[in-house]
Amino acid sequence: TDYEVIIPAAGSGKRMGAGFNKLFLELNKRPVIAVTAEVFLADPSCKKLILPVQPHDREEMKRILPRSEKIVFARGGSERQYSVRNGLELAGSCSVILVHDGARPFISAGSIAALAAMAGEKGAAIAAVPVKDTIKRAKDQIVTETIERSSLWQIQTPQAFRTSVLKKAHEAAERDGFLGTDEASLVERIGHPVHIVPGSYDNIKITTPEDLYFAEAILKKQGGG
């Protein structure tokens, strides 16, 4: 299934605490954003890679990314959702669109293909893994509820959609002033079913400093470290 992908890369990496965009940190001498982008650049079904970035990061992004006609830059927003929305304005040449965090370099070609196919068929498909820990709700650090684990999924990206569905969901969110932490939450609220495609625990988001150790272990396992 042919698709376009938006890779939001306009964050500041506050939780990483590096003092600059964490996507410039290197894994095995390659910047995180380059590793992520290359998975898509190597996929012939990926027709366009839309990259929302902050103006002050743009030159550095251009320097470290492979030269490719597939890459187009968009304006980064103050929130991830706004970055994706700005990217969406440059999309529309394929009927399927993926959104994938720049900070998830360990995405597999197999997952991408499964998600794109499912989105083409059903309209919305997201990568996820079953929750391993017991999850409880608490108020003022007193437990109020234990949530039945067998129904819980940890949601990742890529999140894949029919382009028309994602555009409609973003328009509705904008109209209602809704700010979500992922694209699927915008699609859920317009009543469109979102399908889960089981993925891999390797598909971590590089968020805090200890994630760099996990990333090194995953690289080693994959034979790249």
Residues lying near Mg ion in the complex (CB under 5 A) are found at 11
Name the site residues for ligand CTP (rule: CB under 6 A). 8-15, 22-23, 52, 76-80, 83, 101-103, 205, 207
Q: Which is nearer to ligand CTP, 75 or 122 (CB)?
A: 75
Q: Which is nearer to ligand CTP, 103 or 116 (CB)?
A: 103
Burial-class residue 218 by CB neighbours within 10 Å (0-12, 13-18, 19+).
buried
Beta strand pairing call for 3-6 and 96-99: parallel
CB 85 to Mg ion: min, Å: 15
- Round to whole Å and give the CA distance between 48 and 71: 6
List the single partner that 65 binds among ligand CTP, Mg ion, none, CB under 5 to 8 Å by kind.
none
Q: Which is nearer to Mg ion, 84 or 118 (CB)?
A: 84
CB 178 to ligand CTP: min, Å: 16
The 10 Å Cβ neighbour count of residue 134 is 9
CB 11 to Mg ion: min, Å: 5
Q: Which is nearer to ligand CTP, 103 or 114 (CB)?
A: 103
